[in-house]
Amino acid sequence: MRHDHLITSKQLSRADIETVLDRAAEIDADPAAVADRHANAVLGLLFFEPSTRTKMSFETAMKRLGGTVIDMGSVESSSVTKGETLADTVRVIEGYADALVLRHPRQGSATMANELVDVPLLNAGDGAGHHPTQTLLDLYTIRENAGLDDLTIGIMGDLKYGRTVHSLAHALTNFDAHQHFISPESLQLPREVVYDLHQADDGVRVREHDSLEEILPSLDVLYVTRIQRERFPDENEYQKIAGEYQIDLETLEDASDELTVMHPLPRVDEISPEIDETDHAAYFEQAHNGVPVRMALLDLLLSENGGDRDE
């Protein structure tokens, strides 16, 4: 792992993950202790796709560490509309900031940008590729609710295009976790991801299903993702599939009382709002965990790379 960049969860060893999660727990317990830790640091946000949770939690994280944030703004208001390339954009913003956060619709964009800059760069999502900082907050939430070893997790929904799923699945191979993937055939995990998971997990604790019912009672965690309407040329086919991958109180009747339900958000109708008031629901906690986890990650990266430029 290059510890000055975070591009994919494949970089992360168990020790790397535990270092970030342990630091996040310390910050979560006493955020005031790091309030001025990076008072001179500047974080550059380069979001070429819309974002709510990831963008705002990174901004909050940097400000709670005492730093400041500069934001490229929307693509429409940037020099991208004049034809500026991603390569030139990251080189320019590197000169203004101590670390960069990049989200881009093209898979592999973060890998390319990583080769061009010397400040820490964090991938906040590259197309259908990876979203490693989401994975770290997911792992933190799982650890807080169910533990990461002797874990049985079901991951359900759009597994083909879901970058949060790809990143989480790779990271979980560092732990004693049995992974069950539930999706329609048309949205199964890409075969290359399945191959990588089997290669990484000598115990072959990876299983695929088209129905939640058969494995629900055994799950400690159910990680739900959105079935993406835009992927379906036929609206009727979308409605048929989406309806089979929704959960409500009736769905969870056979679940363990200890089941933790997660979702990277935004949700549409795949989790009924009636679940929100149960002890199963952890998706808003999951979103909130983005702040301490990203604080921990920024703290570790900035400290490791010499801290702030003006100190």
Hey, which residues are catalytic here?
53-54, 82, 103, 131
Instruction: Give 225's contacts (C-beta < 8 A, 6+ positions apart).
Output: 155, 156, 157, 158, 159, 162, 164, 165, 263, 264, 270
CA neighbours within 13 Å on the CB side: how many for 159?
30
Buried b (16+ CB within 10 A) or exposed e, 137-174: bbbbbbbbbbebeebbbbbbbbbbbbbbbbbbbbbbbb
Q: Which SS3 state, helix, strand or coil, does residue 104 take?
A: strand
Contact criterion met (CB below 8 Å) for 4 and 301: yes
Partnered with residue 209 across adjacent β-strands are 182
Contact criterion met (CB below 8 Å) for 122 and 300: no
Q: What is the CA radius of gyration of the chain?
A: 19
